Structures are given as structure tokens and as C-alpha cells.
Chain A
Amino acid sequence: MSQGELFGAILSEEDIKWQSILYELIRSKKIDPWDIDLQKFADEYVGTIEKLKRLNFRISGKVILAAALMLKIKTRHLGLDDFIMLTSDDEDGFEEGDFEFGDDEYVDPEEAKIMKLSNHIRHNTKKKYLIQHKTVTPRSRKVTVMELMGALKKAVEVDRRRETRRAMIEDFEDVTIDPDEIFEVKTERITDRIGRIHNDVLNLHKRTNSHVDFDELVGDVDHKERIGTFLPVLHLANHGKVNLIQEKSFDKIMLEVLKNGGD
């Protein structure tokens, strides 16, 4: 199997265990882990995406994972770990062991095997591939007491923020919330309410055989209840059951029952 066929396996819509294929190719020396053409891989990915008739996030996920793994292998082979540390914008920077797998970090066993094998190859081929730092030597320097003081300020500030957060959570845990005190429980379904108000409108219309006065419909109630009645009336108007008439703003609202309004 060639490099191209490996790309094909990763870009396949089928759930092929590409890690096993990559491992076998490296183990059988059919592929050089540091010499996989990632540019070509990216081009093939773009080509595959263009051909796809529907979106398949599984392929994108596989491609990102595979590219990251292959890039990591290359980086280590080229001895660029120190260079990455120097150029990283990460606020906390890289730490010792960031390139190793932690005890609590889940790592796909197949990927771990690939990294282990590529490390083995790296040790045997280090001289051949290692980039010599001719201009930049990643040297470190002594930490000053001012930097230690700055670090203490930051650590204390983080502690203070966490303490505030912890206190807020504890305060919140002490509060017992009664939902009934916050939310008024509505026992009437909105469709039932619309139907009830529609019946009231029809009854008033039968009685007077003329337009129905909204004030008469709603009766002597508070603003909240007026709105609670007006919203179903708007719904009835939207469905062509009634026509709302208001000569001018803030004037009386009259409801005209439409011909098919009585169903």
C-alpha cells in the first residue's frame, strides 16, 4: 500500500481504522513516518470535499486527527520541540511532559503505538533528519526575583478569583428555590383559552348582533388580565375569525365577527 492509498483510507466515508494501516505501513517500512507529504494529503482532502454530495463531519474529524498525528511525528523527528516552545503564544507555555501522554489522558491505543514506533525510528535516524539550529539555539536563562514576584501576584490573583467563584457556588447552594414563587403556574392551555374567548365573543355577538366591545368582553380586570385576553383576540384576528376595529390610537377596540368566524 502506498502513501496515496493511505490517504484514500483516511478520506473514505467508511469507518476504516486508518491508524492500524498507518502503523503497519511504518512497521513494514513501506512508509517513512517523517516523510509523509501533508501538502498532498491536504489537497486530496479538498478534492474529496468538493466531490462529496452531502456534508460528512466524520471525514473532517478523521483528517484533522490524522494530520495532527503525522505533523506531531514529523515535529519530533525534526527535533523541533524546543522551537515550538520558543515560538508558542500559549500564555502558560509548554510544560515538561506536554509532548508525553499523561496518566489520565485518553490516547487511542493505535495512535500510542504509532508514536512509540516513530520514536523508536527517530532514535535510529536522528542524525539523518535532525535540523541543526544554526542561528537559534534554544537557551534558557535564570529567572529573576521580579519574575518570581510577578508569578506570585498572578497565582494569588487566580486563587482570589477561584475563592470568589467557590463562595458564589456555596452561597447558591444554600438558596432553596420554590418555582411556584417565581413562576405563576398556568393551568389553562393556550388553545383552550383561545377557544373560550372565541365562545365569549360569539355569545356577545349573538346577544347584540353587532360589533363586540373589547371592554365588555374583558370585563373589569387588571392590565395583566386584559393583555391575557387581548393576545387570544389577536390570534383569532390572524385566523380570520374576527376583525379588529379601532378608529384611532387608544380608542375603543371593537370586534367584528366575520362570516366564517362562527365556524
Chain B
Amino acid sequence: MEETKAKVEALLHCNSKGYTVDEISRHTGIRKKGLVKDALHHLRIDYIERNGGLKIDESEGIWKMFVKDAHVDAVTEAARPEIDKAILQTLAYIAHKQPIRQADVVRVRSNKAYSHIVELVKNGFIEAKKDGVSKKLSTTRKFYDYFDLPEGEPFEIESEE
């Protein structure tokens, strides 16, 4: 088990986007998926018990190794944010104006917003519902969980005071 855990841990360390159990099995060459799952669960517990700056967890079938929320400030400069700057601006704009038509987002954020929206839907931060020829965009529960914001409340610009 220790050898399996070491391989899985090394793999998770290499990609902050994380992997599914199938991908871990393929990359590490550990064919028994049950063994991979066991290793992942043990690793998660190891990291909790160690109480360090990192943790391993699963979300929507993706296993990731990441910096604990409490220590994100310490690595702001050193690590790249997992949402690209331009995509984050598009997400913030949608959260602020939601529900908003895709066409209106594109008018403000340029044609690049199309690919931003695809990426944000893929990552589960927003959902797109058909609205005539366009789509109506709004944020998902994952968005509120991720940013630790109260669900359903408008996302407004904080006043300077």
C-alpha cells in the first residue's frame, strides 16, 4: 500500500487540476482501481492527521492536492491562480449581472467571452440555460461554495469606505 500511496501522491503533486480514479490508474500503471481508491482515501486521512499546509480531497470525481484555504494568502505570489485573470473577470461580471444573456456578456467582454463561458460551465461555476437564440447565464452552488459567499445574494462591488 505504501508504494501505491507514494505513486498516487507524486502524481497528484504534479497537476493541480487533479485526476479521476481512471486517470490515476492509467498514469501510475496501478490497474486495480479499488487499490487506487484505497490509496486516495488513506492519503486524505494522512494529510488531515499531518495538519500541514496541503490537503487532498475529491470533488465531482476529481481528486486534487491543494493548498488549504487558510494558507492561500501565503502563496498568492508564488502560485498561479487556478482561474485565469480574464476568465475570472468574465465570471465576476456574470455573478454581478446575473441572470444575464450570453450575448450581453460577449458585447461587454468581447468575443473571447465565448471560450470563457465554455470553460466556466465546464468547471461548474456557471450554468447556461437556453433563452431564445442566446443563453441565460447564472452562477451555480459551486460558485458560492468556492468563494464562500452566501448563496443567492447579489454579488456587488464593495464600497471603498
From B14, B84, B95, name the one whose CB has the most chain A CB atoms within 10 angstroms.
B84
- The reply to whether B73 and A152 contact each other, CB–CB distance below 8 Å, is no
* Most B CB within 10 A of own CB, among A92, A94, A141, A144: A141
Residues of B contacting A: mostly: helix
CB contacts (< 8 Å) of A140 on chain B: these are: 16-17, 79-82
Residues of A within 8 A of B (CB): 85-86, 91-97, 137-145, 147-149, 151-156, 158-159, 162
The interface size of chain B toward A, counting residues with CB under 8 Å, comes to 40
Please name all residues of chain A whose beta carbon is closer than 8 Å to the beta carbon of B5 when the two chains form the complex: none
Chain B residues with Cβ below 8 Å from A154 are: 89
Chain B positions within 8 Å of A97 at CB level: 115
> Do the beta carbons of A92 and B92 come within 8 Å of each other?
no
Interface residues of B (CB under 8 A from A): 13-14, 16-17, 66-67, 69, 72-73, 75-76, 79-93, 95-96, 108-109, 112, 115, 119, 146-149, 155, 157-158
Task: Give bound CA distance, A36 to B3, whole Å.
Answer: 41
B93 touches A159 (CB 8 A): yes
B93 pairs with A152, CB closer than 8 A: yes
Interface centre among A85, A91, A96, A97 (most CB of B within 10 A): A96
**A140-B16, A155-B109, A159-B108 are contacts. A96–B84 as well, Cβ < 8 Å?**
yes
The answer for the CA separation of A93 and B80 in the assembled complex, in Å, is 10
Q: Please indicate the chain A residues that have their CB under 8 angstroms from the CB of B83 in the complex.
A: 143
Instruction: Tell me which of A91, A137, A141, A155 contacts B92 (CB under 8 A).
Output: A155
In addition to A86-B80, A141-B72, 18 A-B residue pairs with Cβ atoms within 8 Å of each other are A92-B86, A93-B85, A93-B86, A95-B112, A96-B119, A138-B80, A139-B79, A141-B75, A141-B80, A142-B72, A143-B82, A143-B83, A147-B88, A148-B95, A151-B88, A152-B155, A154-B89, A159-B108
